């Protein structure tokens, strides 16, 4: 098509382009300088593209790139392996150790019972006095701090005082290792041990149930949270949003504390921690409710959450529903429930726990 056949307005629009092409054609080759500017402009639009690196930062960047290339060229590449097998390699990885030191914004999705390394739970918490343990029918464990022998459960007995058990054993490293295995999902052959999502969920919840007896003991509750903040701070994380069921805490004599006590404890410990570590920005709590509750219980929890947020605006960040997403569809169709949601800001998440042939659930409010 000849240029003269183009409509007038299009011709005007195309004119600069045509002139540019013509100018370049005169030189016979594309203008490298212009191409470089274009590439620079494109790079500046990437995330962090406008950040200018200092000389030292540039050196670090080069070093990091070199370490990454070395790791990729190695015989085992941790990101391509099952996490259980990759974990020891990651812990030894120079890339990981460099990344650990680098500043990171916030940890936004940590559940209260998996905040702290299990090694600390076993080596520190289970060594405290008055710690009892029992083994359930399906081989999981439960813990309880108590000033006297705890009452027996049908599915979990007898309660043994860990101090006595350890004294009898002498060498406690096997016992400690087995406790650590009960508190995590680690196993030598994960594909065989966890044949389906249901199996792994069950083990996951057993591990949380075991940890809850330790973390729920009031003095441990505070130390545990402080320890968690310390571990995050050591990884150069500056802010935490912790998901917690706020299911209370207990004392040696069996007396218990409510959700408000837990929030107060989180608030006190956070303030104390920030005071000692001024670079740390703080921590807030997202109240979590298990989706398997009945609708009326959920409504009650939601109302409770709203009241708790009024009482603890500094530390209470929101409300979250955990586990299987499918029940939420039923919930949302209940009009009185949606009234509770009005005027709240929502976070949305797509069912991350749905892997496999089941279609993903619809997008549903996840937390506020
Ligand atoms: C305790 O037992 C473990 C393995 O069962 C062994 O590796 C360790 O050396 C023993 N520790 C002591 C102090 O004997
Ligand atoms: C356990 O942790 C507490 C802090 O939470 C610390 O004061 C204590 O020294 C630790 N004990 C052991 C045996 O590591």
Asked if residue 193 lies in contact with residue 84, where contact means CB atoms within 8 angstroms, the answer is no
Atom of ligand 2 at shortest range from CA of 224? 5
CA distance 272 to 309: 21
pLDDT for the residue 341: 56
Give the integer Cα–Cα distance in Å for 250 and 316: 21
Question: Helix, strand, or coil here: 246?
Answer: coil
* 116 and 231 Cβ atoms separated by less than 8 Å: yes
174 C-beta closer than 6 A to ligand 1: yes
pLDDT at 272 over 50: yes
Indicate which ligand has the atom closest to the C-alpha of 226: 2
Contact 353, 197 (CB under 8 A): yes
Q: For ligand 2, what atom is nearest to the CA of residue 125?
A: 1
Helix (H) or strand (E) holding 285: strand 282-290
Ligand 2 site residues, Cβ closer than 6 angstroms = 124, 127, 223, 227
**pLDDT score of 290:** 78
Q: Give the number of other Cβ atoms within 10 Å of residue 86's Cβ.
A: 16
> Domain boundaries in the chain?
61-101, 109-328
Beta strands in 217-278 (DSSP E): 237-244, 249-250, 256-257
Atom of ligand 1 nearest to the CA of 171: 1
Pocket of ligand 1 contains residue 195 by CB under 6 Å: no
pLDDT score, position 224: 98
Q: Does domain 109-328 have CATH number 3.40.50.460?
A: no
Least confident of 20-34, 59-73, 77-91, 173-187: 20-34
Residue 359's pLDDT band (cuts 50, 70, 90): very low
Which of 124, 166, 172, 226 should be mutated for ligand 2, with most atoms under 8 A from CB? 124
Q: What is the pLDDT of residue 1?
A: 41
- What's the pTM? 0.80
Mean pLDDT of all residues in 177-202: 92
137 lines ligand 1 (CB under 6 A): no
pLDDT of 299 reads 82
Judge whether residue 362 has pLDDT over 50: no
Of all protein residues, the one whose alpha carbon is nearest to atom 8 of ligand 2 is 124
* pLDDT exceeds cutoff 50 at 355: no
Q: Please indicate whether residue 6 or residue 183 has the higher confidence score (pLDDT).
A: 183
> What is the arithmetic mean of pLDDT over 163-170?
97
Task: Give me the residue label for tokens 């805490």.
Answer: 249
Mutation test residue for ligand 1: of 166, 169, 171, 180, the one with most atoms within 8 Å of CB: 171
| Tens-place pLDDT, residues 98-119 | 999 999 999 999 999 999 999 9
- Look at residue 326 in the predicted model and tell me its pLDDT: 52
Q: Checking DSSP bridges between strand 347-349 and strand 316-322, what pairing results, if any?
A: unpaired
User: DSSP letters along 161-209, please?
Assistant: EHHHHHHHHS--HHHHHHHHHHTS---S-HHHH--SHHHHHHHHHHHHH
């Amino acid at each position: 098509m000849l240029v003269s056949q183009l409509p007038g307005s299009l011709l005007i629009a195309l004119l600069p382009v045509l002139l540019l092409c013509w100018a370049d054609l005169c030189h016979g080759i594309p203008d490298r300088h212009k191409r470089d500017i274009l590439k620079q402009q494109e790079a500046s639009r990437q995330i962090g593209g406008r950040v200018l690196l200092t000389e030292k930062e540039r050196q670090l960047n080069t070093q990091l790139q070199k370490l990454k290339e070395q790791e990729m060229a190695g015989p085992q590449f941790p990101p391509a392996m099952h996490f259980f097998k990759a974990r020891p390699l990651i812990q030894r990885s120079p890339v990981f150790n460099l990344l650990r030191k680098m500043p990171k914004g916030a940890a936004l999705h940590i559940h209260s019972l998996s905040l702290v390394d299990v090694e600390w739970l076993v080596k520190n918490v289970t060594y405290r006095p008055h710690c009892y343990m029992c083994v359930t029918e399906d081989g999981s464990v439960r813990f309880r701090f108590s000033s006297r022998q705890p009452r027996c459960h049908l599915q979990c007995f007898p309660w043994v005082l860990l101090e006595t058990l350890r004294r009898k054993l002498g060498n406690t490293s096997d016992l400690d290792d087995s406790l650590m295995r009960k508190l995590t999902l680690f196993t030598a052959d994960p594909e065989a041990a966890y044949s389906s999502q249901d199996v792994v969920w069950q083990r996951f919840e057993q591990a949380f149930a075991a940890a809850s007896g330790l973390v729920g003991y009031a003095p441990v509750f505070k130390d545990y949270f402080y320890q968690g903040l310390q571990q995050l701070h050591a990884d150069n994380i500056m802010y935490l949003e912790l998901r917690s069921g706020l299911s209370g805490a207990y004392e040696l004599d069996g007396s218990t504390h409510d959700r408000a006590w837990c929030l107060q404890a989180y608030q006190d410990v956070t303030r104390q921690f920030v005071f000692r570590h001024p670079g740390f920005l703080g921590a807030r709590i997202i109240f979590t409710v298990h989706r398997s509750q009945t609708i009326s219980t959920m409504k009650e929890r939601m109302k409770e959450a709203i009241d708790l947020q009024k009482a603890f605006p500094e530390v209470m960040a929101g409300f979250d529903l955990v586990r299987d997403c499918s029940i939420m569809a039923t919930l949302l169709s209940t009009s009185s429930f949606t009234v509770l949601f009005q005027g709240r800001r929502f976070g949305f998440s797509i069912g991350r726990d749905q892997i496999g042939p089941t279609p993903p659930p619809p997008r549903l409010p996840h937390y506020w």
